[in-house]
Amino acid sequence: SSSYNNAQMCAEKIMEEEPEFKIIVVDTLSGTVGQGILLMKAVDMKKQGKTIEEIAEWLNDNKKHLIHEFTVSDLNHLYRGGRLSKASAVLGSMLNIQPILHMDNRGGLAPIGKVRERKKALNTLVDNIEKKSDIKTLKQVFISHGDCIEDAKYVADKIKQQYGIEDIL
């Protein structure tokens, strides 16, 4: 991504100017909460005394194990981002289509389904947890939202009810 490339260029410039600095840039292949999860793990590993090389290796080995699924309530965001035609955005909005999307292992946004109505989309996200992960070993779920706290609380409550997972950030 351009963010990764820019970070790599900045790291090289800083290390050129400050040779005692060591910076390893990791392309997380994710956004928002996925980056946050990996950052939290990196900080935890640093506190455990792991080296920068060990941390970078772990991040690169594990970044593709994150499951990023989400939905958007406004198709115009996908239109403005060039991911949907204007006609599809208008028609989909009229029909109350809610796409289910995910970040693939190349860091790209990919559709994996669509439903009608917001609650169905949120329920699909919850149901997909069991389909995409080993629910017996899943201990923590992260939820992010863009100014829709009630939807995030709804999803958290459904996860607690359906799977008994209490550690939800």
What mean pLDDT do residues 70-87 have?
Answer: 90
pTM for the full model? 0.84
In sequence order, which residues have a C-beta less than 8 Å from that of residue 48 and are 6 or more positions away?
A: none
Render pLDDT for 45-77 as a digit per residue (tens, 0 to 9). 999 999 999 999 999 999 999 989 999 988 998
Residue linked to tokens 């989909």: 92
| Residues 117-154: tens digit of each pLDDT | 999 999 999 999 999 888 889 989 999 998 999 999 99
